[in-house]
A = this chain, B = another copy of it.
Amino acid sequence: MFFKIERNFLIEELTKCNRIIDNKSVLSYSMGIFVECDGDCVSFSSMNSIMNIKSKVFSGQGGLEFKDTGNFLIRGKYILEILKRMDDAYVSISKIDDNLISLYGDRSEFSLNILDDSGFPTVAFKERGQIASVETEEFKKALAQTIISVNESNQKLVLTGINLNAAGESLFVTGTDGFRVSRKEIYLHEKTNEHINTNIPYKTILEIQKLLMDKGVCKISLMDNTCCFTIGNTLIQTSVLEGQYPNVEVVFPDDFATKIIVENKKISKLISRADIPSDEASATVVNMMIEGDKMIIKSNIQQIASFEEEFKEYSLEGIEEQNIYLNPRFLLDALRTFEAKTIEIQLLDEKKPIVICSEEEKTLKQVILPMSSN
């Protein structure tokens, strides 16, 4: 087994596989990257307890040349470190015997020990079932805008990931931790008659975010209890979170009493000042008291500091008096997801969910529950 490939291209492919490896694993086969040459292409794959990844590289891609079939399992960490220190544009790899591969460029030559691959499972990547496709750039943005509301250690298993719900022309991407909801609508690459409704684990979302390039299409295939994402030459297949995702529609208020229209940057800076630093993990409670054309923002942490600021640079529609308490971190997280210059904060009363949205970005909605005043 022999192949020659661009060094930087190889680094990229190995990095994708290496990222998901659980280095604390004690099973040698799950510590490595499986490299296989089947006569058709060279593939790189790895796995952890929730997902599998596989990249296929065909002749000519990344300057790939190969001969003979074969495979080996290698520790990603060391080979990547070595490849990064090399100077050559191209590197060649050949399997010498059952324990050793040779990695060489024009001048340097490394002999690398390989791992026992007898336990490495053959995984079937299922690119079929219910299928939907989205633009990678849009999907990447949507995941970033909704993952902010996901708590990886949520007690409710189904909330430890992101819900994908595709039907007709749209994919709804939703995250919630029970105290806030992030929801983004993106258009499907092609209209579909199928219906996808599944929950992707937090850790898989993080990997998908890294794989999504600025251009291209991501195909989502749902079958049985696994979901497979096809991104460029890479497949990532994950187990999905079991359980019924809550109907978040019900928390989106139909109506509001007060609408505040404000520059995102200005309100963000104001709220970050009100978020008094402390050693506690929990945020300060911030009181927002609206009285027509001015609001008073107040917060207080015992033993450290208290804060007060009057703010007037907004316009208001509806009821002019409101007095709400909120978690500044939740509001700041939500505000950060908007690229829009101007955002709207919609309130009903001090107990009803607060909606943050924007006329400029109608497909994104952030909802946060107010806190109680004591």
Contact = CB atoms under 8 A, between A and B. Distances in A.
Contact of A109 (B86, B112, B269, B307): B307
A305 B107 CA distance: 16
16 contacts: A77-B277, A78-B277, A78-B305, A81-B277, A85-B272, A85-B273, A85-B275, A87-B269, A87-B273, A108-B307, A108-B308, A110-B276, A110-B305, A110-B307, A111-B307, A113-B303
Nearest to A269: B87
Interface of A: 75, 77-78, 81-82, 85-87, 107-113, 269, 272-273, 275-278, 303-311
B276 A82 contact: yes
Contacts of A277: 77-78, 81-82
Contacts of A310: 107
B112 A305 contact: yes
Contacts of A109: 307-309
A265 to B, nearest CB: 10
A111 B275 CA distance: 14
Nearest to A266: B87
Contacts of A307: 108-111
A67 to B, nearest CB: 23
A180 to B, nearest CB: 22
A220 to B, nearest CB: 37
A80 to B, nearest CB: 9
Contacts of A86: 273
B269 A111 contact: no
Contacts of A306: 110-111
Nearest to A87: B269
Contacts of A278: 78
B113 A305 contact: yes
Most buried by B among A81, A82, A108, A306: A108
A114 to B, nearest CB: 10
A109 B307 CA distance: 6
A199 to B, nearest CB: 36
Nearest to A80: B277
A326 B307 CA distance: 60
Contacts of A77: 277
A72 to B, nearest CB: 14
Contacts of A107: 309-311
Ranked 4 nearest A-B pairs via Cβ: A81-B277, A108-B309, A112-B305, A111-B306
A305 B82 contact: yes
Given A78-B304, A87-B273, 13 more contacts: A75-B304, A77-B277, A78-B276, A78-B278, A81-B277, A85-B269, A86-B273, A108-B308, A109-B308, A110-B307, A111-B306, A113-B303, A113-B304
Nearest to A306: B111
A276 B77 CA distance: 11
